[in-house]
Amino acid sequence: MEIRLDRKVALVAVSLCLMGQTGWAEEGTGAGALPEPRWIPSIELGFDLFKYETTSTVVEVATDPRPADALNPNFNGQQANSITEIAFRLGGELMGPSFDSIPGGPRLFVQGGVHLQSFATERVFTIGDIGSPETAVGGINRHLGSLERSLARGCQHVPVGEMRPDDVVSCPNLEPDEIPEQGSRIDAKFESPSWFAAIGVAFHVPLSENLLLQIKPSVAYTGESIDLTGKLTTVNEPMLDRFEVLRDVTDKSITDHSLGVGLELGLVLFRDVRPVRTTLFANTRFMWLLTDRTTTFGVTNGLATYTVRRDNMMVRGGAGVRFSWVGFGGD
């Protein structure tokens, strides 16, 4: 009797095991695989690299205290500049249902988020070295006509006892641009945060039971605000051998909008892990500027005009990690 009962218990246990295995196989997409949810929300952390390429120009203009014949052409010019920058990326993604009848099981997705800039102000144009020429100007004006004044003009040193009355007069006049710590520059600062968005299609290629490759072409958008600051410090000579320092500081804020195409490659790790799945990704985007690429500012009650012309096309690349909510095995 006991033997028959043991056989019945063993038969029931085997039957339950077989039923359990059949159930997992029916729910999965393959041997040992768990079903994919219809909607997959994610958050992501990463970084972006890009080059900010500009051609900048500074041109002094005639003003009331500074007539045209007193302008200093040494601080005018045009410079091309390229700065490689990095920004931290924080965003989210939502994937839609899979089209299983199409090879690769494509899913539509949308992305969005912000870039947190990691740098302060960058210089895109510089001539000279802006400092405090007031110190030199004050000293020159105080010692006008003295031996120190003649030496400041680059005259040959003559002992005081041997100086003739015309030694100082015979020296060439000191020009305003010989005074140090003058110059011009343009600074650019990306405001934080900037923002991004994308919409595209994700194709899936199984690499193994645990690894899944995602290929994700998209249409991408980027928006960013930039503060431009133009500065000019120069010395004027309103009357013979009398000098004064003129300073100009002017700002301009702009917002750039860019649209382009992107491609992301993602590697899903441990695809059957639940409820959170990890994906490593890298992407590249080719962005074209939609807004005016040339910004000119300055002049009004100032000393110069400042122009920054941005490249029409920018390549951005980045990488990061994405955490997706895939539930516990159901839709």
Asked whether the predicted pLDDT for residue 107 surpasses 90, the reply is yes
Residue with tokens 């804020």: 253
Q: What is the dihedral of CA 13, 19, 21, 23, to 10 degrees?
A: -150
Distance CA 169, CA 311 (A): 53
If one counts every other C-beta atom within 10 angstroms of the C-beta of residue 10, the result is: 10
What does the mean pLDDT of the chain come to?
81
**By C-alpha distance, which of 236, 241, 233, 121 is closest to 173?**
241
- Say if strands 40-60 and 304-310 run parallel, antiparallel, or are unpaired: antiparallel
pLDDT value for 15 = 47
**By C-alpha distance, which of 54, 53, 71 is closest to 62?**
71
- Phi then psi for 207, rounded to 5 degrees? -100, -30
Confidence bin at 110 (pLDDT 50/70/90): very high
If one counts every other C-beta atom within 10 angstroms of the C-beta of residue 267, the result is: 14
Distance CA 95, CA 44 (A): 13
Residue type, 149: R
Distances (CA, A) of 325 to 110, 206, 271: 15, 19, 12
Distance CA 89, CA 64 (A): 49
Low-confidence winner among 111-115, 146-150, 297-301, 322-326 (lowest mean pLDDT): 146-150
Each residue's pLDDT tens digit, 43-100? 999 999 999 999 999 998 877 656 666 677 888 999 999 998 899 999 999 999 999 8
The residues, any chain, with a CB within 8 Å of residue 109's CB and separated by 6 or more, are 93, 94, 95, 96, 199, 200, 201, 202, 216, 218
Distance CA 297, CA 309 (A): 12
Residue with tokens 């800039």: 117
Distance CA 116, CA 108 (A): 27
pLDDT value for 328 = 82
Distances (CA, A) of 151 to 38, 147, 164, 168, 190: 84, 6, 15, 9, 46
Question: 17: burial class by Cβ within 10 Å (0-12, 13-18, 19+)?
Answer: exposed
pLDDT value for 158 = 43
Three-state SS annotation for 22-71:
HHHHHHCCCCCCCCCCCCEEEEEEEEEEEEEEEEEEEEECCECCECHHHC
The residues with which 279 forms a beta bridge, in sequence order, are: 268, 322
Classified as helix, coil or strand, 151 is helix
Distance CA 312, CA 284 (A): 17
- Say if strands 313-325 and 40-60 run parallel, antiparallel, or are unpaired: antiparallel
Each residue's pLDDT tens digit, 292-325? 999 999 977 788 999 999 999 999 999 999 999 9
pLDDT value for 229 = 96
- Phi then psi for 88, rounded to 5 degrees? -80, 140
**By C-alpha distance, which of 161, 152, 153, 184 is closest to 73?**
184
pLDDT value for 141 = 62
Question: 93: burial class by Cβ within 10 Å (0-12, 13-18, 19+)?
Answer: buried
